[in-house]
Structures are given as C-alpha cells and as structure tokens.
Amino acid sequence: MSRYEAAPEQESSRTFTVVLLSLLILTVIGALFGYVLGRRDIDENKSASGDGPSAVPSTVASAAASRRPPSVPPKPCPDFISQAAKTQDAKAAVPLMLVQYIRTAHDHEVWICQEADGSGLWYQGHDKRDAFYDGGEIPEEGKNGLLRPGVLAKGNRTWTVTNDGTTYTVTPGGLKVTGGQNFTDTATQANPPA
C-alpha cells in the first residue's frame, strides 16, 4: 500500500464527514432561503392587509381598534342601518359593523356601528312600539328611530352623540339621555356584554 492510499476505514470515515458537512451546508442554505422568502411574504401580506403605512393617522387607527374588544369578531349591523346611513351620507363606507348593541328595561334599543373602512361611527336608536328589531319592527327616522353619524368614542366602551341639544350616551350598562329629555335606562341585554 502506498503512502497516498488510505485504509478502507479512513476512507469511509472521510466520506461520512464529507456527506455530513454537505448536508449541514445545504440545511443552512435552505434555512436562509426559507427565511428570506418568508419575510418577503410577510411584508407583502402587511401591504395587502393595510398594516403598512396608511393615510389614517395613528391616533384614529388606535381609537378605532379600541372601540371593539379584541376577542369579539366584527359582525355587521342590521342591513337597514347601512342602507339608511348610505342614504344620509353617500360617502358612508358600508356595511356598517357592530361595535355595541344594547336593549334597555324601558323598551329602547341602540346600535353603535362603525363604517367598514374604520372611519365614522353611527348611532341608531329605536323606541319600541310593538316589537324590538328581532321581532320584526324596523326603526323609522322621526317616528321611533334616530340615526346619526358623528358618534364620539369616549373610552371605557362609552359613546356619545348629540342631536338637537340632546346628548345620547351609550355604554354596555345602558343609555343615558340628557338635554331636551333627561333619563337613564339600564341595559337588559348588551352585545358585546359589559
């Protein structure tokens, strides 16, 4: 055996080492490609979902996020509210999404709804005549219903809107009306609950 020929044990050991190092190098290269492609995919998804820079100021975006508890998935407000909002304001982004609904002890129900793009909040009040909305009665503006844009989120799940000098304050706990009328009505049902 010449000095350049390796023993069979050394040759198989060397082959094993070369194969092991090749696998290690390929694993590192694969991991790097996976990381780069994954980051690119995440960045594209952020752009598509609007998580990147936007024209909406961050204070507006954070206020919009604080209006709905994070554990409650968004659900649409009743369709009649979206239709009426679009009639009142052609620029309203519909469908309106439910932020808060309450039904009170003295036959009132209120929806606080947010425009689909997260911009404006709407108040829909209903004074029950014969039935609540789920019983088939739809609020009529000026008769047993009041629909108003410009609802203000006050924090702690409190919203207010003013109409002709009367302020309506809505919380999961109830409805408080001050100004032209003055009363407080406790909620018997709230969605999401208090």
Q: If you average pLDDT over residues 18-42, what whole number do you get?
A: 81
Q: Which comes out higher in pLDDT, residue 72 or 5? A: 5
Q: What is the pTM of this model?
A: 0.63
CA distances from 69 to 60, 106, 108 (A): 16, 27, 23
What is the pLDDT of the chain when averaged over all its residues?
A: 83
How confident is the model over 71-98, as pLDDT tens digits?
Answer: 556 899 999 999 999 999 999 999 999 9
CA distances from 101 to 52, 57, 122, 158, 180 (A): 31, 27, 12, 12, 23
Q: Which comes out higher in pLDDT, residue 30 or 171? A: 171
Q: If you average pLDDT over residues 186-194, what whole number do you get?
A: 91
Predicted local confidence at residue 49, as pLDDT: 43
Q: If you average pLDDT over residues 113-133, what whole number do you get?
A: 95
Pairing state of beta strands 121-127 and 166-171?
unpaired
Q: If you average pLDDT over residues 142-156, what whole number do you get?
A: 95
Q: If you average pLDDT over residues 114-134, what whole number do you get?
A: 95
pLDDT over 80 (residue 166): yes
Q: Which comes out higher in pLDDT, residue 168 or 51? A: 168
How far is C-alpha 35 from the chain's CA centre? 30
